[in-house]
Structure 1
Amino acid sequence: MTNATPTAPPADTGLSAAAGKVAELAAEHAAAADSDDRLSATVAEALVSAGFARHLVGPRWGGSAAAPGAVRDLARALSVVGAGCMSAAWCAGVLAAVGRMCSHLPEEGQAELWGDGPDVPLAGSLAPSGTVDTVPGGWRLSGTWDFASGVDHAQWTMVGGLVRGPEGPPALRHFVLPRRDYRVLDTWRNVGLRGTGSNSVVLDDVFVPAHRSFEHRTVLAGDPAPSAPRLHRVPLKLINGLFFVAPGIGAVEGALGAWTRWTASRVEINGVRTGSRPGVRLTLARAAAALDAARLIVDHAAAEADEAEPTPALTLRVTRDYSTAVDLLLDSVNGLMRMSGARGQALSHPVQRVWRDVHCMAGHAALQPDVNADGWAKHALGEE
């Protein structure tokens, strides 16, 4: 274990440039990831090497969280990778998101995680599960935690559990465990985002010391320490949806390009060019416009996360906007799928994979339209 020393934030993390190379590699392996229910080790390693794992880690450990425009860089990089393989981009977002969350560990825990460098592959299962017993010096955990994206390639995994305090209801805490402390169950069989390998984690009476745990409320509110990077001090919800919707922007962009090239060469059974149909042209225009609108919304939200004062009103509006961007992506890919006919439904066709992936992305808890709209509307109506 080495001692980290503070370093100046980099002016350019290089993530955007590296993302293009990863996207090419991920695209080559996308069909295999979809059929194998996990990323290849080659793609998983490329995500870490590109800088996704370190991107939201603090500069004292060699990470890029304090870099100017770090959120915009991440959003664009996730979109670039998503154009090649949405599952790969999803796992890239998880690497960054869990790295930011683990930055709320006590000092000793951060040193154990990143003392030898910030490029540590991480996974996480956030929802509380299993049993957590408080013992001297920490907790003992047992049970099964589902939906840990990328866990097959992780060195550490974060799980959530409810802990009873001296008074009040149980509170959610997160616990960070090295690979030797858990088993991975091959449980991921999903309609979409198959390549994320979101398998289950099993713990059997595992001791987790206090320095490898933190309360969820500290992540929700942000780290109040003035010395912490800005991105560790903003509320989680200001950026949480971005990790999941940005891959979808790239995926729909890739699908739109593939569909357009394919449609330009298609001929109907009556000999008429498919692209000459007014309905097909309308679908293309609407899909492209919806994609552009979604990208603008997410770019704006990312810019505000980088620079704006993180007020409660801003956080509510941004979460509302993430859900709106998802609706636009759904409109776009649904139109493409409808106008693809039977040939577009073949498992070998790229549009149907993106169609499945985007619909699964839309079901994520951070992107639910009713919850996010309700929070913003209550504020707008002066009800809170």
Structure 2
Amino acid sequence: MSHTVPSSEALIARARSMIPALAERAAAAERARRQPADTIADMQDAGFFRMLQPKRWGGYEMSPRTFFDIQIALAEGDMSPAWIYGVVGLHPWLLALLDDRAAQEVWGEDSSTLICSSLAPGGAAIPVDGGYRLTGRWRFSSGCEHCAWCVLGAQLPPSPNGTGERILLFLPRRDYRIVDTWHVAGLRGTGSHDIAVDGVFVPAYRTQSMLDNFLCRGPGQAINDAPLYRIPFGQIFVRGVSTAVIGALQGMLIAVIDNSRRRITLGGLKTAEDADAQLVCADTAAAIDEATATLHRNFHALEGYAERGDPPPLALRLQYKYQSAAVVERCSLLAARLFKLTGGSGLYDEQPFGRLLADINAARQHNANQYEITARNWGTALLGLEPRRDLAI
């Protein structure tokens, strides 16, 4: 498929141009518990969901560094659409690893088709002739109302020698139900409802082993042979659910600085003149800069391994997963400090501060962002012990 691939600079500029509109729509999206169709259409028209899609299917095969720079920019306007982008936008990369028949089904008629997900094993996949019979219920499928396909995680029956293998299965919209459950305290605008499946057949070519993902292999690599598709699955996916907090914290910092320049405390001083406010703003700006630099450095290294055809060392993957989760931990603590600077007026719904704090804290609840678990696992390896088995690194 012949098409023009925009430059990284042009794509990031498009994302930054959307910040005002996203900020303006944020409160209404939160109340609606979903993104407006206009926001998803704007992101599609900008080409954002094609970032990691194979060129042969109209994609750009761009560096993950550009993908995540776009996510950071979008989150500065509103974290919820940035979260959806960080999840849904990664699925073209995952689909590229499968047998090409799967891509033909998903993109054959429309290469802009979007895919939602719930990758935790929320159901059982029973092997049958030619594939699997899938039944279950999955939670947290962000942006599902805007997608025509879904990828779900499932557990196979236990083998005689151990536990059942985990696999991912791609299903068209006709094969699953969306169950309205998203009544939550944060990231309300993501519309992350439940997905239900009742005994649906999924052909084997529309599945992918989590072990193969861990080992950076898949049948689709025979056709989609760019180094992008040899980066470890876990490294890309954990960043998809952590990076939006960087942009959200940036948006919160900008809003707090503006508020602090105008707000007068009971002592008669502007908040901006308070030493504690100056300290918090400096700490926050430094954390944003450091988190972004670490993200770029890590993916520069991962892309280098992929280009050389070398698997990155396990210890490095453990370190990078820890750093992904640590970003969320640090940003959450800084968001609480920023929120304190807004005083009682920051509590009102007309202000963005409560939503920003809730959204950043909501990201902290994701399993991939459990700072203590990732820290212990990396620390175990540093101390020469066997780390916990984890296929998502």
Structures share fold, TM-score greater than 0.5: yes
Aligned AA (1:12) = S
Count of paired positions: 376
- Cα separation, 1, equivalents of 2:73 and 2:216: 28
- Cα separation, 2, equivalents of 1:237 and 1:30: 30
Match of 2:349 in 1: 347
Match of 1:368 in 2: 370
- Cα separation, 2, equivalents of 1:129 and 1:185: 14
Match of 1:275 in 2: 272
Native 8 Å contact 1:157 1:176 kept in 2 = yes
Match of 1:197 in 2: 191
Native 8 Å contact 1:130 1:142 kept in 2 = yes
Match of 2:7 in 1: 12
1:338 to partner: Cα distance: 1.6
- Within-5 A mapping of 1:298-309: 298-308=295-305
Aligned AA (1:205) = G
Instruction: Show structure 2 runs of 5+ residues with no match.
Output: 387-393
Q: Residue by residue, what CA displacement relative to the aligned partner does 1:256-295 show, whole Å, maximum 9, x if unpaired?
A: 0011011101112343322222222222222222222222
Aligned AA (1:93) = G
Native 8 Å contact 2:346 2:353 kept in 1 = yes
1:129 to partner: Cα distance: 1.7
Does 1:323 find its partner at 2:320?
A: no
Aligned AA (1:369) = Y
Native 8 Å contact 1:15 1:74 kept in 2 = no
Going from structure 1 to structure 2, the CA distance change for 1:215 and 1:9 (only over 3 Å counts) comes to farther
Going from structure 1 to structure 2, the CA distance change for 1:198 and 1:49 (only over 3 Å counts) comes to same
Of 156-165 and 304-313, more deviation after overlay is shown by: 304-313
1:221 to partner: Cα distance: 2.0
Going from structure 1 to structure 2, the CA distance change for 1:337 and 1:372 (only over 3 Å counts) comes to same
Aligned AA (1:242) = R
Q: Residue by residue, what CA displacement relative to the aligned partner does 1:5-43 show, whole Å, maximum 9, x if unpaired?
A: 6x7994736532332233333222111111111111111
Match of 1:296 in 2: 293
Match of 1:382 in 2: 384
SS in 2 for 1:358: helix
- Cα separation, 1, equivalents of 2:185 and 2:290: 27
SS in 2 for 1:104: coil
Residue number among 176, 185, 200 corresponding to 1:182 in the alignment: 176
Going from structure 1 to structure 2, the CA distance change for 1:176 and 1:306 (only over 3 Å counts) comes to same
SS in 2 for 1:32: helix
Native 8 Å contact 2:246 2:288 kept in 1 = yes
1:98 to partner: Cα distance: 1.9
- Cα separation, 1, equivalents of 2:22 and 2:80: 9
Match of 1:231 in 2: 228
Going from structure 1 to structure 2, the CA distance change for 1:185 and 1:348 (only over 3 Å counts) comes to same
SS in 1 for 2:302: helix
Does 1:220 find its partner at 2:214?
A: yes
Instruction: Show structure 1 runs of 5+ residues with no match.
Output: none
Does 1:172 find its partner at 2:166?
A: yes
Native 8 Å contact 1:9 1:59 kept in 2 = no
Native 8 Å contact 2:271 2:341 kept in 1 = no
Native 8 Å contact 2:3 2:58 kept in 1 = no
Does 1:84 find its partner at 2:81?
A: no
Does 1:258 find its partner at 2:251?
A: no
Aligned AA (1:383) = L
Residue number among 51, 55, 80 corresponding to 1:55 in the alignment: 51
- Cα separation, 1, equivalents of 2:244 and 2:234: 17
- Cα separation, 2, equivalents of 1:99 and 1:218: 17
Aligned AA (1:281) = Q
Aligned AA (1:127) = A
- Cα separation, 1, equivalents of 2:3 and 2:127: 39
- Cα separation, 1, equivalents of 2:156 and 2:377: 27
SS in 2 for 1:280: helix
- Cα separation, 1, equivalents of 2:16 and 2:124: 42
Match of 2:389 in 1: none
Q: TM-score normalised to the size of structure 2?
A: 0.89
RMSD: 2.2
- Give aligned-pair identity as a percent: 30
Match of 1:100 in 2: 93
Q: TM-score normalised to the size of structure 1?
A: 0.91
Of 79-88 and 301-310, more deviation after overlay is shown by: 301-310
Native 8 Å contact 2:54 2:92 kept in 1 = no
Native 8 Å contact 2:259 2:342 kept in 1 = no
